[in-house]
């Protein structure tokens, strides 16, 4: 009897093993791996392929494969934890390169990312669609064409706003406590990043909104015209300038700064690279206006002015971006913007996350908070007026 019971029990157990073995494969496919009693190591490629196969087989909707892959690559770079290191799909890269060159189809705004990740309008170009529609410097972009832009990369927001000339775009912004929406038609925008004028007592004024491919040539033209008109001192306005090309700011620095290191960089292997100005420069009194939106390349110039004692900084503490990025273009037309160096002022100071304190700290009147600098009357622009005062004292 015992022997029969044994064989009976053995048969049941064997049948159970067979059933489990047959059922195991579909169970493995259907249940999450974290509930399995073991782990299996996987290569990255194998893991991506497996996830893709699950999505292809089980995801209830159609999949946009291009968007899926772009998001995968974007997530890979986001894992670095540096908001200045990111992936750009083909369209984003095309718009980025066009904008850097100084001409693009868009609405005529310049934007930057705050420390909190908000995308903010730094300047609105006169006579362009954005100005006509009513957008203002200081507006926080929260949506484009109905798509939420909160937390998006700067390149993603820019690519969404740019588009073919003659097409419409709707931009939603946060302005103070209000949300506002503006619809406008895109146009071809030629970026004039430099403006200039002669002020009283032969004090020259040059404003630079960003350092682009054509900025140096525009700056040189403005500087030459002011010199021909008898300029005795120069006020350089870098307020609301989010930065741009290091080469561009270096070329301008070489015109205005004394011989020596303007800035130096260190890469991950601590290799040092110095950008040095030669002995030839325009030796006249210099005042530089800065504010909390003066960033990156603007801070390279401001840091050199402060460390060398070449001029006086007036305004507010700067943004604090002391990193240098390099663009890598991939064979398929997409790209990577990667932080490759940290930069230091001539005295060896890293301003990243800290910014640069001006020599003369001056706030704008509260009544003009959020008002584009171009719309503040010169006599009410307390930072400009302080700059003029400092300049006049130096010219005595």
Print pLDDT tens along the chain (396 aa): 455 554 455 444 444 444 444 444 444 444 554 555 567 788 999 999 999 999 999 999 999 999 999 999 999 999 999 999 999 998 888 878 876 776 778 899 988 888 788 999 988 888 899 999 999 988 999 999 999 999 888 888 988 998 889 999 999 999 999 999 999 999 988 778 899 999 999 999 999 999 998 899 999 999 999 999 999 999 999 999 999 999 999 999 999 999 999 999 999 999 999 999 999 999 999 999 999 999 999 999 999 999 999 999 999 999 999 999 999 999 999 999 999 999 999 999 999 999 999 999 999 999 988 787 888 899 999 999 999 999 999 998
Tell me the three state secondary structure of residue 379: helix
CB atoms within 10 A of CB 24: 10
Residues marked as catalytic:
296, 307, 321
Q: Where in the chain is the domain with CATH 3.90.226.10?
A: 191-395
Q: Where are the alpha helices (DSSP H) in the chain?
A: 2-30, 44-58, 65-78, 90-101, 129-133, 154-161, 215-228, 246-256, 297-308, 382-395
Residue 158, CA atoms < 13 Å, CB-side half-sphere: 26
Read off the pTM. Answer: 0.74
Q: Which long-range contacts (CB under 8 A, 24 or more apart) does 143-150 make?
A: 143/171, 143/172, 143/181, 144/169, 144/170, 144/171, 144/172, 145/169, 145/170, 146/170, 149/119, 150/118
> Which tokens hold the place of 33?
């791996």
CA atoms of 329 and 325, how far apart (whole Å): 13
DSSP tag of 316: S
Which residues are registered as beta bridge partners of 67? none
CA atoms of 342 and 266, how far apart (whole Å) = 5
Closest CA to 347 of 281, 272, 263, 244: 263
Determine the topology of domain 191-395 in CATH. 2-enoyl-CoA Hydratase; Chain A, domain 1 (3.90.226)
Q: State which fold the 103-189 domain adopts.
A: Pdz3 Domain (2.30.42)
Question: Is residue 326 within 8 Å of 336, Cβ to Cβ?
Answer: no
DSSP code of 211? Answer: B
DSSP 100: H
Task: Tell which residue, 296, 334, 338, 335, has the closest CA to residue 318.
Answer: 296
Query: What is the distance between the alpha carbons of residues 216 and 228, in angstroms, rounded to a whole number?
Result: 18
Instruction: For residue 390, count other CB atoms closer than 10 A to its CB.
Output: 20
Beta strands 119-124; 109-113: pairing state: antiparallel
Residues of the chain with CATH 2.30.42.10: 103-189
């Amino acid at each position: 009897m015992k022997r029969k019971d044994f064989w009976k029990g053995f048969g049941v157990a064997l049948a159970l093993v067979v059933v489990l073995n047959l059922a195991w494969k579909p169970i493995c496919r259907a249940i999450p791996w974290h509930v399995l009693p073991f782990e299996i190591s996987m290569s990255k490629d194998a893991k991506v392929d497996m996830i893709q196969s699950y999505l292809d087989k089980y995801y209830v909707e159609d999949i946009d494969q291009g968007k899926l892959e772009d998001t995968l690559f974007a997530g890979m770079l986001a894992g670095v934890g540096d908001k200045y290191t990111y992936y750009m799909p083909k369209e984003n890269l095309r718009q980025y390169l066009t904008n850097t060159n100084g001409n693009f189809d868009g609405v005529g705004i310049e934007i930057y990312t705050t420390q909190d990740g908000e995308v903010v309008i730094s300047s609105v170009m006169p006579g362009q669609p954005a100005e006509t529609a009513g957008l203002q410097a200081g507006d926080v972009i929260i949506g484009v064409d109905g798509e939420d832009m909160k937390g998006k990369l700067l390149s993603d927001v820019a690519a969404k706003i740019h588009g073919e000339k003659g097409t419409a775009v709707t931009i939603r912004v946060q302005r103070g406590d209000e949300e506002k929406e503006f619809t406008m038609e895109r146009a071809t925008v030629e970026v004039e990043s430099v403006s200039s004028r002669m002020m009283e007592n032969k004090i020259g004024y040059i404003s630079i909104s960003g350092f682009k491919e054509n900025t140096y040539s525009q700056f040189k033209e403005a500087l030459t015209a002011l010199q021909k008109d008898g300029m005795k001192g120069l006020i350089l306005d870098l307020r609301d300038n989010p930065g741009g090309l290091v080469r561009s700011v270096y070329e301008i620095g070489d015109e205005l700064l004394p011989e020596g290191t303007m800035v130096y960089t260190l890469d991950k292997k601590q290799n040092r690279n110095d950008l040095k100005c030669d002995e030839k420069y325009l030796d006249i009194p210099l005042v530089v206006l800065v504010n909390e939106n003066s960033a990156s390349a603007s801070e390279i110039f401001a840091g050199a002015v402060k460390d060398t004692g070449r001029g006086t900084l007036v305004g507010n503490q700067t943004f604090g971006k002391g990193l240098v990025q390099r663009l890598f273009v991939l064979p398929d037309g997409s790209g990577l913007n990667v932080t490759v160096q940290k930069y230091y002022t001539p005295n060896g100071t890293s301003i990243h996350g800290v910014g640069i304190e001006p020599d003369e700290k001056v706030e704008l009147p509260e009544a003009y908070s959020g008002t584009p600098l171009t719309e503040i009357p010169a006599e009410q622009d307390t930072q400009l007026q302080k700059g003029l005062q400092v300049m006049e004292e130096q010219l005595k």
